[in-house]
Amino acid sequence: MVVSSLLLPSFSTIVFTAKKPINLTTNRSNRSLTISAAATNNSPTLDSITDNIKDKARRNPTAANNFSAKYVPFGAGFDSDESYSLDEIVYRSKSGGLLDVHHDMEALAKFDGAYWRNLFDSRVGKTTWPYGSGVWSKKEWVLPEIDADDIVSAFEGNSNLFWAERFGKQFVGMNDLWVKHCGISHTGSFKDLGMTVLVSQVNRLRKMNRPLVGVGCASTGDTSAALSAYCAAAGIPSIVFLPANKISTAQLIQPVSNGALVLSIDTDFDGCMKLIREITSELPIYLANSLNSLRIEGQKTAAIEILQQFDWQVPDWVIVPGGNLGNIYAFYKGFKMCKDLGLVDKIPRLVCAQAANANPLYLYYKNGWKEFKAIKAKTTFASAIQIGDPVSIDRAVYALKNSNGIVEEATEEELMDAMALADSTGMFICPHTGVALTALNKLRKSGVIGSSDRVVVVSTAHGLKFADSKIDYHSGSISGMGGLANPPVTVKAEFGSVMDVLKDFLLSKGPE
């Protein structure tokens, strides 16, 4: 029997009870895959082994509720004359401005803060589909109407909130410093939080026969990794536009491995962003950058999670590195929803930290929000935020103005030294987190942040993605940098030589 793989029934309905070998031949090659019937003897049927977490969710649907959400122009309320269903393919308002996902807050407010706190707390640490995910544990506040079956999730979120005891005490004179490790995640950055939402919605739209052939993004390396992984998990084609030679090797290999169409384009991120916007308005490719406000809905759950991890106590400050500027607004939105729905009674002050080589928001803030000018971003070790014309500039300004926020910047030397210092206390952070730690250091020195304030620094990507820049730093190969370099010591394979090195080392450390 020859069955085209394209004609296979859906996974959950296949029953492997065949007594003879089954020959599966794809229509793309003549190679065939033979599954031996012997291997299936005495094995459970797929009917019984597909009793998986999704099947369980199907059998136990949650009670119907009246929660809903829609797109409105950014800054307009739920009753705005202009609004769009989340099932429409739309990224901009009629006037060309940004959109925002607006939830029916009245319906959500029928339940008090204690109800939401208990509900969210009850879902942490479980594998119940889809609530085991840190994002989908807040499903009612994210995409209330999506069917659990359409969700594409890697159980993202629930990331570690690390008490940075040694860094705090030793380097910034603080006892209550925390690092939210959003980069310890499925693809190594906070982008997973937004991408699970966006790709789930695409999955739903495709099932509704909306004309979407694939999903595309411009990227400095993290959005592309998340997009390609979630699309690959769902079997949806992905296309990523990357600025040639401007992202790390680890980031480049992620979409390559996940089977995305990877375009390496001779421009910078802003150039790639312009291209993908033009392309997605011409072709049936869904836009996955944070211009698409669905992404913000997932990313905002990191803010809710921070409150949850502090047992619903509100920190004084949250510091977020900023590039395309969707994430700073996502944090604001998460905190604001918790306040508006009575889970907490205030929101933290937000700080957005930029690399001095890519600082259009910082310049805008410094000129008193008078005039925004896009810039040509210069090369920075914080390569994922090398962005000069951020699409979410209006969202960022709104978030900062409404949280009594601050913008800071970090030079290349400052951000790399901050990263090395943090690593020397047991972390392994990315350069962008070095930008945020530099902002903290500056605000501590100026006394704006007090020694007993509770501060959360958002770490946005895994340090392993940026091993190249760490190697450059520690090998002393970056001119004018490397004050904290700790290169490996080459030593002969003999007792005396090893002893000499160790004696020097122990003497340099001295008794405590």
Ligand X SMILES: N[C@@H](CCOP(=O)(O)O)C(=O)O
Ligand Y SMILES: Cc1ncc(COP(=O)(O)O)c(C=O)c1O
Task: Give the residues lining the site for ligand Y (CB under 6 A).
Answer: 189, 220, 222, 290, 321-327, 384-385, 430, 432, 460-461
Least distance (Å) from ligand X to the CB of residue 44? 42
Tokens 């169409």 sit on residue = 261
Task: State the binding partner of 289 from ligand Y, ligand X, none, CB within 5 to 8 A by kind.
Answer: ligand X
Under rule CB under 6 A, residue 289 binds ligand X: yes
Which of ligand Y, ligand X, none does residue 188 bind (CB under 5 to 8 Å by kind)? none
- Least distance from C-beta 326 to ligand Y, angstroms? 4
Task: Look at residues 398, 428, 419 and name the one whose alpha carbon lies nearest to residue 473.
Answer: 419
- Among ligand Y, ligand X, none, the one that 438 touches (CB under a kind-dependent 5 to 8 A) is none
Distance CA 431, CA 434 (A): 5
Residue 238 contact among ligand Y, ligand X, none, beta carbon within 5 to 8 Å by kind: none
Q: Which of 203, 290, 301, 380 binds ligand X (CB under 6 A)?
A: 290
Q: Please report how close the Cβ of residue 250 comes to ligand Y at its closest, in angstroms.
A: 12
Measured CA to CA in angstroms, residue 345 lies from 37, 113, 172, 339, 406 at distances of 63, 10, 28, 5, 21
- Strands 214-218 and 177-181 come out as unpaired
Q: Which stretch in 103-111, 196-204, 215-223, 330-338 sits in contact with ligand X by CB under 6 A?
A: 215-223
* Closer CB to ligand Y, 326 or 482, in the complex: 326
8 Å CB contact between 70 and 143: no
Would you say 134 or 183 has its CB closer to ligand Y? Answer: 183
x/- binding map, residues 321-360, to ligand X, per CB under 6 A?
--xx-x----------------------------------
CA nearest to 272, candidates 221, 198, 327: 221
Q: Quick one: what does residue 219 bind among ligand X, ligand Y, none, with the CB cut-off 5 to 8 Å set by partner type?
A: ligand X
- Residues 404, 185: Cα–Cα separation, whole Å: 30
Q: Residue 223 or residue 309: which is nearer to ligand X going by CB?
A: 223
Q: State in angstroms the smallest separation of the CB of 11 from ligand Y.
A: 33
Q: Per DSSP, what are the bridge partners of residue 320?
A: 352
432 binds, among ligand Y, ligand X, none (CB under 5 to 8 A by kind): ligand Y
Which residue lies nearer to ligand X by CB, 323 or 463? 323
CB 365 → ligand Y: shortest distance, Å?
Answer: 14
Among 133, 137, 203, 219, binds ligand X (CB under 6 A): 219
Q: Which residues lie closer than 8 Å to 199 by C-beta, 6 or more apart?
A: 152, 215, 227, 230, 231, 233, 234, 236, 288
Backbone CA torsion sign across 194, 199, 202, 204:
negative
- The CA distance from 32 to 309, in Å, is 51
Given a contact cutoff of 8 angstroms between Cβ atoms, the answer to whether 275 and 218 are in contact is: yes
Of 19, 11, 15, the residue nearest 1 (C-alpha): 19
